[in-house]
Amino acid sequence: MTAAPGSFAARAHPFTPLVVTLCIAVVAIALPGPAAVLYLYAATLILVVLTGTGRAALRALVPLAPLWFFLVLLHGVLGDGEQTTVLGVALSRNGLTLAATQAARLGAIATASLALYTSFSPARFVDAVAERGWPFSMSYLVVATLLALPRFRARAASILEAQRSRGLRLRGSPLNRARAIGPITFPLLLGALAEVDERGFALETRAASGVTRRTALAPPPDTRMDRLTRWAAVAAAGSAVAWRVLG
């Protein structure tokens, strides 16, 4: 967890950021038109800053920038309908509206997701699930999914350095680069499969598949603010869906 110590994201119940992120994704998809979605993206940016995960907004720009450019190119430059001139380039007005809507949706979802990843604490989440009496497999699935990418990247970096020390050439002609795919990919996949077996044995030795209710050592407090936040997020998501369906 890299959220600022003492921030709301670090102190919140583990279910709160998860529910808020899911609701933001639902609202982003359900809201029509560019104005409402742009307001949602702006509200998401303000929310991640106030909760101490403002760096997530900057990190989200890395994958979002090329997607936004592609949306403008696809809908604005190649779109039909009434044309408008921006910096000497003729763009479709309807295409720009559609591109702005999709860009804001992607921005809100990506920013909220990275804020969740930044504030996520595996230990607190597992204790929260155990306190509710829910199956351990549920918490393990969520934790393993969110922590898979850092382990995968670290393993890929170590394999790459090891292969470079053995003389693997990653630069030069496209043929040399194609030849380097196998020495990097195969050890990465074999290592991932071996880790799956090791984790499976470790879980079995700890009776992870047992039916006995597990006891949380330090369950995180579920404050009134957390409950109000979750219910408000669910209500907002439900209202957006109802407005989209009934409107």
Domain co-membership, 79 together with 182:
no
The reported pLDDT for the residue numbered 166 is: 74
Long-range contacts of 155-158 (CB under 8 A, 24+ apart): 155/188, 155/191, 155/192, 156/184, 156/188
**Number of CB atoms found within 10 A of residue 121's CB:** 18
Q: Is residue 182 part of a domain?
A: yes
CA atoms within 13 A on the CB side of 184: 20
* Distant-in-sequence, close-in-space partners of 157: CB < 8 Å, separation ≥ 6: none
Same domain assignment for residues 103 and 12: yes
pLDDT of residue 127: 84
63 contacts 110 by C-beta, under 8 angstroms: yes
State how many domains the chain has: 2
Token pair listed for 152? 């995968």
> Cα dihedral sign for 246, 226, 64, 104?
positive
- Asked if residue 3 is part of any domain, the answer here is no
- Report the C-alpha gap between 123 and 45 in whole angstroms: 27
Question: Which DSSP helix (H) or strand (E) runs through 84?
Answer: strand 83-86
Query: Which residue, among 246, 236, 245, 247, has the nearest Cα to 28 in the 3D structure?
Result: 236
* Structure tokens that stand for 153 in this block: 């990247």
Q: Does a structural domain hold residue 103? A: yes
Query: What domain range is 16 assigned to?
Result: 8-123+221-246
Is residue 109 located within the same domain as residue 23? yes
Q: What is the pLDDT of residue 172?
A: 65
- Confidence (pLDDT) at 1: 53
- Taking the C-alpha atoms of residue 6 and residue 15, their distance in angstroms, rounded to an integer, is 18
- Asked whether residue 40 is domain-assigned, the answer is yes
| 46, 59 contact by CB (below 8 A) | no
Are residues 16 and 104 both part of a single domain?
yes
Question: Tell me, what's the pLDDT at 107?
Answer: 94
Residues of the chain with pLDDT under 70: 1-6, 86, 89, 169-173, 176-177, 179-180, 196-197, 199-213, 247
pTM, 2 dp: 0.76
- Identify whether residues 92 and 19 lie together within a single domain: yes
What is the token pair recorded at 73?
A: 């190119």
Query: Does the residue 92 lie in any domain?
Result: yes
Range list of H helices, 166-180: 174-179
Q: Give pLDDT, residue 120.
A: 84
Partner residues linked to 86 by β-bridges? 89
Burial 20-30 (b: 16+ CB within 10 A, else e): bbbbbbbbbeb
